[in-house]
Amino acid sequence: MNHQSVFESVVYLGLLGLLVTLVIEAAFRASQLKWVFAGLIYATTTLWYVIDPIYTPTIYSKFTIDELDFSFAQVCVFLVGFRLLVERIPPATPTRILREIDVRQIDRGPIVPIVLIAWALLFTIGITLTNFRVLEVLFPINSRAGSVVMFGRGRFGGATGFLMSSADYSYLAVCASFGLILISTRRTSTKVLMLCLMTLTWPMFFMAGARNKALAIVVPTIMGTLLIKKWTRLQQVLFLGISGLALNTVMLIAIQFRNIGFDKLIEDNQSISRIYEGRHFGLNMTEELLHITHYQRTRQLDIEWGMNYIGNILNVVPRAIWPNKPFVGRELALLRSGTYRDDITTTISYGFIGQGVSNFGPWLGPLAPALFFSCYCRWLCRLPLKGNRSLRIFLIIFCLALLPNLGRDICLFVLWPVIFAYAGVTGYEMVKR
């Protein structure tokens, strides 16, 4: 086979041009919320499907130019499909609506006490499940090398897996709200309280080594600051640059030390240089798209015709009720990683475009996530048009911040925090009525 560099793919260069064009358009039309959403989808696509072929080129040198062109063309189909759909499906909600938070509801209403009660309840349950090993939970210095976690569950769950996951995702949503309250309140006492809670709870998410949870905690605050604060463009750029550098450093630290323990960060004299010599990994959704397409062409993997999406929806059913519930993605995991001791070696993420291809084939498949994201955008854009606007603005920012996490798979594992946060908001609205 004639192995090629990714830069020899004309379609890849076309993909770069398409993304630049779409990002510029979204920036010029950012006065509407749906184009802010679209810009984040373009960023998510870049993160998972454009960076890795440059970041780790040796992985892609084993594929032929035709295979690379085919997969990059599938990414283009997604982008064009999403662009056409997002023009028509979501309403033209103005972005300025995100600045219409009623501070009185934060400072004088019951929102802060309700958040504190929810956190205290979930934290007490979680600590009880770990036999009150408080310090090891809040500051897991050993990280994955023997750490203790609240609401722990197996890879595929168990009889109580859904309950553990529900508590875990609810706790994540509550902790993420601390930062949003911090940037919205005008009371100094509330700001100090939120800072204390963030200092107490946020390190756990980073030190545990789960990057998706860490991002779900901190990104809403970064995004909320950009969307809520009436800053100049220069202030926004500076804040985003500083936040990006800080987040990149923290993530590199987590990657380098999560398997050996963070005590080595202090003991290792070369720790600083080691951090910046480290590399991010796991951005290889283009590679997975190439493999999925290859398996379909060679008839090793059948088109699922929506069963993958249905299986993800059915994850809501606990295994205590349905012991033989199918394992979503098992066939791909078997092809990609094999088995060890009669179990799958590791689970494999499809990537949101690869997941669509797995469900509906090589060309119709990329349009499935395009349709999902367009409908998701419509739901978000309609949220502030009724109900408690301040809480719904928080929910919108939280949802926007979680978009990059949907890049690996469109599944309930990513959407549960959104679902529980929405349930909390609507429950609050019902009680107030």
Which tokens hold the place of 261? 């323990």
How far, CA to CA in Å, does 354 sit from each of 111, 132, 303, 364? 40, 42, 11, 11
Top pLDDT among 269 and 26 is at: 26
Q: What is the largest CA-CA distance in the chain?
A: 68
Which tokens hold the place of 296? 């379909």
Top pLDDT among 146 and 307 is at: 307
pTM equals 0.83
Residue among 413, 271, 396 at smallest CA distance from 349: 413
Top pLDDT among 389 and 166 is at: 389
Encode burial over 226-246: b for 16+ CB neighbours within 10 A, e otherwise: bbbeeeeeeeeeeeeeebeee
273 has pLDDT over 80: no
Per-residue pLDDT tens over the stretch 292-311: 999 999 999 889 998 888 88
H helix or E strand, kind and range, residue 339: strand 339-340
CB 55 within 8 A of CB 280: yes
Top pLDDT among 257 and 412 is at: 412
CB 312 within 8 A of CB 412: yes
H helix or E strand, kind and range, residue 293: helix 285-297
Mean pLDDT, all residues of the chain: 84
Q: What is the pLDDT of residue 157?
A: 47
Helix axes 412-432, 161-184, angle to 10 degrees: 60
CB 351 within 8 A of CB 291: no
Segment 50-61 mean pLDDT: 86
Which tokens hold the place of 253? 């630290």
Per-residue pLDDT tens over the stretch 169-207: 888 889 999 999 998 888 999 999 999 999 999 988 887
Query: What number of helices (H) and strands (E) belong to the chain?
Result: 21, 2
The whole-angstrom separation of Cα 81 and Cα 301 is 25
Per-residue pLDDT tens over the stretch 309-319: 888 888 777 66
φ/ψ of 88, rounded to 5, equals -110, -35
234 has pLDDT over 90: no
Top pLDDT among 132 and 255 is at: 132
CB 36 within 8 A of CB 96: no
Residue among 155, 408, 400 at smallest CA distance from 281: 408
Radius of gyration of the chain (CA): 22
Going along 10-143, which residue ranges are E strands? none
The whole-angstrom separation of Cα 308 and Cα 348 is 13
Q: What is the pLDDT of residue 409?
A: 87
Segment 232-243 mean pLDDT: 86
The whole-angstrom separation of Cα 146 and Cα 259 is 9
- Please tell me the number of Cα atoms within 13 Å of 365 on its side-chain side: 30
342 has pLDDT over 70: no
